Amino acid sequence: MAEPTPVPARQAGIVTLAATAGGTVGGSLALIAVWLLSLAGVPVPDNVADAFTILATAVVSILGGWIVPPGTGSRRA
């Protein structure tokens, strides 16, 4: 009978972690930007604030994943 093949440990790559952190930062930056605009007297509708948050999250997530070169390590999940 054949030996069972060991199942490799699941890992989250460093690029994935950087992109996840970037998404968190992007959402926070969007919230602060909308707040600053409201302090400056610029009315920001809720739908526009939501869209800005989504776009900022996407951009900073991509940036976070792009900054970290691939193959720089991984962390076990």
Average pLDDT over residues 30-55: 94
pLDDT at position 77 is 47
Confidence of residue 13 (pLDDT cuts 50, 70, 90): confident
| Length of the chain (residues) | 77
Spatial contact of 60 and 29, defined as CB atoms under 8 Å apart: yes
Spatial contact of 68 and 35, defined as CB atoms under 8 Å apart: no
Map out the domains of the chain as residue ranges.
23-68
Q: Using CA atoms, how far apart are residues 26 and 8, in angstroms rounded to an integer? A: 33
Report field, pTM of the whole predicted structure over 0.85: no
Helices (H), the chain: 14-39, 46-67
Q: Using CA atoms, how far apart are residues 45 and 72, in angstroms rounded to an integer? A: 42
Ranges 10-19, 37-46, 58-67, most confident: 37-46
